[in-house]
Each structure stands twice: as C-alpha cells, then as structure tokens.
Chain A
Amino acid sequence: MMTTSASPAPIRLALAEDPLSSASPAPWIGPLIALGTRAARFFRKQQGRQLIVAISVPKRDFAATLVAVGWVMAQAAPRLSNPLEVLRTAEPGSVVRVVTERDVIVDRFCRLNEEKDPPRLHLSNSQWQVPRIRAVQVLDAAELDQPIRMAHPEPGAIGRLARAGEGWDARLAAPTADLAIIGTRTWLQEDFDAFLSREGDVETERPKELLEDLAKAKEKGKSYRVTVGHGALLDVVLPQSDQSSTCFTTLYAAARLADKLPLRTDLNAAILDGGGAIKYLAQIETPVVICILDRSVADETADDLVIQIRNTRGEPLLLCDDFGWRPPTGVEALAFTVAL
C-alpha cells in the first residue's frame, strides 16, 4: 500500500483505564473522535435532512464515547459578557450557573456586593469573590430544589488537542446539551471513566481534584473511583444527572428507551450504541444519528434495519468525500441522509 499524501504522520492517541497506569496507544482512537467532529461540522453546514452514519466495530467498547467526545469538542464556545456585568443585571432570586477555578455551581442569586473590594457574589448557599469567577450565566429555570455544586470539569489532553482553552469555561456556564447517547448505561459509564492522552506524552500537571481524591482513597484504603474533575472522558462527555450542575449530553439506557420516546426536540444528534438502541432508529428524529454496530454480537437485526432504511429511503453519502473521513482498519462505515 502506498500513501501519496505528504502530510505529517497523524497524532496517535492513547487510552488508559486509570490515571496512574500507562496508556495504550491505538490507531482507531483518533479517527473515532474525528467522526464525531466531522458529523458536527456536517450538521452545521447542511440542514433539512436527517444524516445517518453507521459504523461497525469489532467490539463496541469506547466507540460511542469517542464519537461523543468528538461531537462535544466541535461545539463553538458561546460569547459571554464578563461576570461582573452579568451579575449587575441579574435579578435577585434568579437561578445562575457560576464557573470558578475549582467548581461549577447552580444556585439562586441573592445579591452582588460591590462595596467590598474585590466585589462579592452572594448565592443562597455560598459567597464568591467576583475576580475568582471565570464565567457566569443566568438560567431560564425558575425552579431549583437545592443548589448543585460539582467539581470543575477538566478536558485534559483532548482539550489541548481541540484548543478548547479559553472558551471552555464559557461552555461550562452556557452549555449546548444537544447530544443523546443511547445504549447500555453501565457499559457507557465504564467507558467514560477512561483517560485519553497523546501517545508518548506524560501528564505533567494533574487536576487537583484527581490528586486529592487519589490521596483520600489511599488514606482510607478504598479503591479509587473516577468522578468529574479528574480529567477522564467523563469531563468532556458530561452526561446529565441529578448531581451535575452543567452537562453536554443526555444518557439513555436503551432498555428503558421505549418508555421515554419521543426524545426531547432540542437534541441535534443521537449516538445509538448497539442493537438495543439501533432498533429505535426509525423513531429517532434528531438531525444527526450515529449508529455503532457491534460486530462481536452475532445478531444482525440492527445491521439489517440500517440497510433497509438506507435502501428504501436514503440518499447515500461518501464519507471520504462528503466528510473527509476514512474509517480506520477494522471499522466499516456508511452514511446516508433521509427526509425528516
């Protein structure tokens, strides 16, 4: 095989199951993230029809999560006014999301005290020096059962690769939560706990939250558990939960999906991980759908369903031309659009 391209060797990415063990590089990690990114770009360019992409992988592990990471990282950061200006116009009693260096908090706004130097923000449950606030957003939600405080998500190596840098805090404050991930919840949550890095890179600066939790676990003799703020894939996927103060995605268990349809209409994309999720393909109306077919499962019902929709209602696309994306070795891919 010959390659005619003169571009430099692509960056190889690596995954690790815990933050201290060495990461295993693999040629399929980067392309799966890239697929999510390309799908997000395609979505912004062409609307009006539903895009369906199906890839088959030797085994489902990590595929949906990596595609989700790509989708999330492709989102543009919103332009937010500086925190002091936002707080000056905020109505007392309104619900705000506040991003600081260490936390993301959703709480009720009480008042802004500018008589102090530096100015001070009073929430129902905590107080903050305004210069320590990186981003703030007033939310539409009128109801709030209780304040939520979550560690500041750290995008780590992916953030550096995607140059998320400055926009990250604005995104945490005013997130675009337009992606649904549907599959086996337990397996997806295991996937979210993996750590991504560039091949050969040694993580020099670890998130403080991670170091503290590792120390705590060691002290108590308990096993370490990944949470938001540790720099795992979880920090980028940021699924919605009762304990999350900000989120980029909504996770649905395929086994319970039948009782949840139709999906929210503000979702732009859905990743269907495995046959249990793909069987609902005809009932998913998000503008973008990405199906992960697990070839290690003998049941080909999901594959047949995708092909049936492609052949009866679809207009095929070429991923290599229309997306500029080629599947890595071991991955098959097809794409088409259907009328919504």
Chain B
Amino acid sequence: MSRIDALNQRYAACAELVRSGVEIVGVGDPAGARFNAAVRRLMVLLKDEGGDFLDDLVGAAKALRWRQISQPQPLDFNPGLLHLAGEVAKHAARLRGAIADQALLDELVTSAAQVAGTDPVVGAVLLRSCEEVGTENCIVIAASTPAAAGLESWLNKHDIPVLTAGELERGQLEREQAYVVGPPRFYRSSLVTAPVTSGVSFLMPAWFGDRSVPRSAIGAYAEGAIRIVARVFTEGDTTEPELTIPGETEDESEYLPQPVWGTRQSGDREPASDEVEARKVLLSGNLAMWLDDGERIRSLDPAQPVGERVTYTDVAAVRAGTYLLLRQGETERGVLYQAAIGRLARGEVIDEALAAWKHLLTERLQEVGYRQVVKQLRAAGVKTADRARAWTNPNLVRPNSDQDFERLLQWLGINIQPTFGYATLLRKTLYQVSAEIGKQLETAVSAADLPELETIGHLSLDVKAEGFRGILATRVLAISPFTEIVSRHDARVPFEDRSGQWLE
C-alpha cells in the first residue's frame, strides 16, 4: 500500500471512530473488586495517617492493582501477580501493631491472595473476543512495554500480536479491530483520535469506575474537535462490596504505581549562589538526577530518522518518556561553556563581563526574593521575567529575547554594551560547539541499538570525541512534584537511586 493510501486509511479510520465511537467492556471480577475495596481503604488511611511508614505497603498494593488491570493473562503466564501478592503480605506483616486497623491489613492480605489464586477474568473475555473476530483480524494493545511482554507470552500461542501504543505506530499491521487492555484513561488520546484500526474496544475489570475516554489535547478549544463517544457494556458477575469511604480521592491517577518521593526537605529559603532549585527526575537504570530550571537539556528522540535524533528539550518540556543524553560524572553544559570561552580571542574578558551581571542578579534575588524580582522585571518590560533564577546559571549565556536582555541589563544598572555584544558572541560560539558535539552524538546514536533502548529504557553510547566517554541515554520515568535546593555542582549529574522500585 502506498504511503498516501495508508494515510487516507488513517483519516478514514478516524472518521469511522468519530461516527461509531469506541466500545468499553467492564468484566465482572468479584475477587478483584474485593482487593480494590481494601486498597481504597488503605489509601484513605495513608491520607489520614501521613508519614512514610506506609509507603512500601501502598506501593506493593498499587502495583498489584495495576497489574490486575494491565496484565490479565492466566496465572501460568503471570508469575508477577503471585509475587506482588506476596509483597503485599510481607509488608502488611511488618506493619502489624503499627496501625490500629488490623482488620484492614488482614483484608488486604486475604483479598490479595484471592486475586493471585484465580485466573484473571478479563483475560478470558479478551481471548474469547479475539477468537470471535478472528485472530487474523485483530491486535491487542498493552499499556506498557512490560505489560506487552507479559501478555505476549500468553497470546503468542494463539497467534495474536500484542503491541504497545507506540509500537502500533511503527508497524504496518493491517487489522480491523484493536482490543485494548485497561481503561481508556490509562492511554494517550492518540489511540482513539488517530486510530490505526476502524474498531477499538477497551477491556477492563468492572470495578474500575472511571470510563472516560481521553480527548485530544486541543479538542476543548478547536474547530472540528474530535469527540469520541463510548458504548459501555458489562458482563459477568459485577457484584461489588458495599463501600462508602468518606474523604476518598476521585482521582484515579493516585492509584497508579508511583515512585516514593517523600516530602520536601529544603524548607522555604532562597537558594545560595552555589545552589539551585531542582526537581528530582527518576531515570531508567535505577538512576536519578537533579534537574534545575536552566538551559535546555540534550535529548534523544528514537522515533526520528537517522541524523535527526539528537536534539534539545526545554527543561519545562521534559516528561516521563523523554530520553535524555547524560554524561556520567559531569554535565555537558559545563564542557560546552569552557570550550566556547576557550575559542574566543578575549574569552576571559567575556567570561568576567557575564559573571558580573549574573552576580548582580543573584544579589538582587537574595536581597528581595524571587517573587519580588519577577514583579520588578515584569514592570520593567521583561516578558520572560519568571526565568530570573535560571539566568543566574553561569552556563546559560543570556535570555533568548534581545529585548528582554536589554531591559534586564538596564534594570540591573549595567550598560547594555559591551555586555550584550559579548553575550551574543558567546552564544553564537556555543551554538557552533554544540552543533559539532551534536553531530558526534548523532553518529554514536545512529550506531546504537535503539529498539534495545526502547525495551530496556537505558543504553550506554560509545562517543569517540574527547571528553565524551560514557554518554548514557536514559528514559525519564517520573518527575518529582516538588523542588529541592541542591548544590549547583550536583545538578544534572546522574546518581544511583531506588525510589522507583514500585514503578512497573
């Protein structure tokens, strides 16, 4: 099929789904419903009691609940289910005596054992549905790479392909019907707004209450907005324990497996001159990194063609799923900056001039505080005033906008020239150095095993350039909801960390 015909089919499938909607099948699952009720009670307890002592039990319980939804294959193909039920029992036993509600701990352990003792019912319905449509006409879509691997171990025997939503995009499978494992809200809207198949059905346990279908991100504001309706069916024994829990969260995402973040330790102070505000970013490979709001960070997009994979991502645009390129033990920005200064005829003079305005800005931040500085800069006409703290970073040469930079210098009481000219010259040189390094990284990436990177999540790259040994490509797993104050020296350098252990 030509690329144009395939594209035409894509537009047609989209129109078809707008017309007919998606199907959601809720499968009655009494054992799962009982465990779910216990987890919900545990979540309320967590909220009331606070503290970190419940983290492991909550982590294990959420992971088991997630596994029930995302991997409903029979027990013979599902050792993880039994393992997680064991983890729930283990951590419940450790809490014995530590909380008042012993009955809740018992209920968690009993219902988890029950879940791990019977073949998941959703799995049976999934297989039957595929066989009804004809296994050659359908595909199964899984919520994550580990979930796809689990389901595949089972469905391969029935000649049914299992893909993640991302893999679906790369394949050339011509199938009519997609069965999606899990509720729509655990998937990106692309699955329903840019469908590959003309039919899409979601299968999930009936006890999972949220049946909303994700909308395209611009849909709420767009003309011609794509709205996909859901036809909801239930089947099997859908009786559930009667349960009214006061203070229970409505937000399903709280039940997703999450890293253990703890609480902010830094208090409410301004960072010192050698410190930055940074978010902890969990990375694949049991690593983490402090990401400060400075200049953009080198990243990798495996979906792009050879020669265009290495790029930059703004700090604010780094999300779970972004692949970062990190140097072990040192940051790229420091190396870049030194190389650029070294190339300039009056490098030291330029370096000093830049240090001078950054020093003044740092002082103002410490004197009057970040909020007041932003307010004053706004009044002075600096559009991107909220970047004030980022501009103190020695490696971030200047604000992007000429106008903002001029007004910032004026506000600091510094003559626009020669500082403005110096900074602009240095930025140009940095661009050259950065483009050269980009090319070397691109060469290393083109030789790397990208499918392996996408399966495992991290990969060491062999970069020949001087000072560039030990580049690591790694996927962002999660980003902390709060910042901490850390030493500038520690920012953007990966370190060992295990707070992602309850992630899938």
Q: Which residues of A contact B (CB under 8 A)?
A: 15-17, 21, 24, 26-28, 54, 56, 58-59, 61-62, 184-187, 194, 253-256, 258-262, 276, 279, 283, 293-301, 303-307, 310, 316, 318-320, 326-334
Contact B296 A295 (CB under 8 A): no
* Given A255-B311, A256-B438: A296 touches B169 (CB 8 Å cut-off): yes
Contact A185 B218 (CB under 8 A): no
Tell me the minimal C-beta distance from B430 to chain A in angstroms: 8
Tell me the minimal C-beta distance from B473 to chain A in angstroms: 15
> Can you offer 22 A-B residue contacts whose CB atoms are under 8 A?
A17-B2, A24-B8, A26-B11, A27-B11, A58-B193, A59-B194, A185-B308, A186-B308, A187-B305, A255-B308, A255-B438, A256-B308, A259-B432, A262-B402, A279-B313, A295-B189, A295-B193, A295-B194, A300-B217, A320-B223, A329-B11, A332-B222
Contact B305 A186 (CB under 8 A): yes
Q: List 19 additional contacts besides A21-B2, A258-B296; criterion CB under 8 Å.
A: A15-B4, A24-B4, A26-B4, A56-B222, A58-B14, A59-B7, A184-B304, A258-B434, A259-B438, A276-B311, A295-B189, A298-B321, A310-B221, A318-B223, A319-B223, A326-B224, A327-B223, A329-B14, A329-B18
Nearest B-chain residue to A339, judged by Cβ: B383
Specify which chain A residues have a CB less than 8 angstroms from the CB of B221 in the assembled complex: 307, 310, 316, 334
State the CA gap A261–B430 with chains docked (Å): 12
Query: Does B136 interact with chain A (Cβ within 8 Å)?
Result: no
Nearest A-chain residue to B431, judged by Cβ: A259
* Given A276-B311, A327-B224, A331-B224: A300 touches B434 (CB 8 Å cut-off): no
Contact B223 A295 (CB under 8 A): no
Contact B15 A330 (CB under 8 A): yes
Contact A17 B3 (CB under 8 A): yes
Task: Find the residue from B5, B188, B194 having the highest chain A CB count within 10 A.
Answer: B194
Query: Does B190 interact with chain A (Cβ within 8 Å)?
Result: yes
What are the 9 tightest A-B residue pairs by CB atom distance, in nearest-first order? A303-B217, A327-B224, A295-B194, A298-B188, A332-B222, A259-B431, A255-B311, A330-B14, A58-B194
State the CA gap A53–B166 with chains docked (Å): 27
Contact of A301 among B166, B222, B317 (CB under 8 A): B317
Query: Does B309 interact with chain A (Cβ within 8 Å)?
Result: yes
State the CA gap A332–B226 with chains docked (Å): 7
Query: Does B145 interact with chain A (Cβ within 8 Å)?
Result: no
Specify which chain A residues have a CB less than 8 angstroms from the CB of B190 in the assembled complex: 295-298
State the CA gap A279–B8 with chains docked (Å): 28
Query: Does B312 interact with chain A (Cβ within 8 Å)?
Result: yes
Tell me the minimal C-beta distance from A248 to chain B in angstroms: 23
Query: Does B310 interact with chain A (Cβ within 8 Å)?
Result: yes
State the CA gap A293–B189 with chains docked (Å): 13
Contact A305 B223 (CB under 8 A): no
Contact A298 B7 (CB under 8 A): no
Nearest A-chain residue to B428, judged by Cβ: A259
Tell me the minimal C-beta distance from A11 to chain B in angstroms: 17
Specify which chain B residues have a CB less than 8 angstroms from the CB of A27 in the assembled complex: 11
Nearest A-chain residue to B8, judged by Cβ: A26
Tell me the minimal C-beta distance from B452 to chain A in angstroms: 20
State the CA gap A300–B190 with chains docked (Å): 9
Contact A58 B10 (CB under 8 A): yes
Tell me the minimal C-beta distance from A155 to chain B in angstroms: 20
Contact B308 A184 (CB under 8 A): yes
Contact A300 B321 (CB under 8 A): no
Nearest A-chain residue to B221, judged by Cβ: A334
Tell me the minimal C-beta distance from A19 to chain B in angstroms: 13
Query: Does B435 interact with chain A (Cβ within 8 Å)?
Result: yes
Taken residue by residue from 400 to 429, chain B's Cβ proximity to chain A (1 for < 8 Å, 0 otherwise) reads as 101000000000000000000000000000
Contact of A299 among B10, B226, B311, B319 (CB under 8 A): B319
Contact A300 B438 (CB under 8 A): no
Taken residue by residue from 1 to 42, chain B's Cβ proximity to chain A (1 for < 8 Å, 0 otherwise) reads as 011110110110111001000000000000000000000000
State the CA gap A163–B310 with chains docked (Å): 42
Specify which chain A residues have a CB less than 8 angstroms from the CB of B402 in the assembled complex: 262
Query: Does B303 interact with chain A (Cβ within 8 Å)?
Result: yes
Nearest B-chain residue to A28, judged by Cβ: B11
Tell me the minimal C-beta distance from B306 to chain A in angstroms: 8
State the CA gap A303–B301 with chains docked (Å): 17
Nearest B-chain residue to A27, judged by Cβ: B11
Nearest A-chain residue to B7, judged by Cβ: A61
Query: Does B165 interact with chain A (Cβ within 8 Å)?
Result: yes
State the CA gap A62–B2 with chains docked (Å): 13
Nearest A-chain residue to B19, judged by Cβ: A329
Contact B303 A297 (CB under 8 A): yes
Contact A293 B218 (CB under 8 A): yes
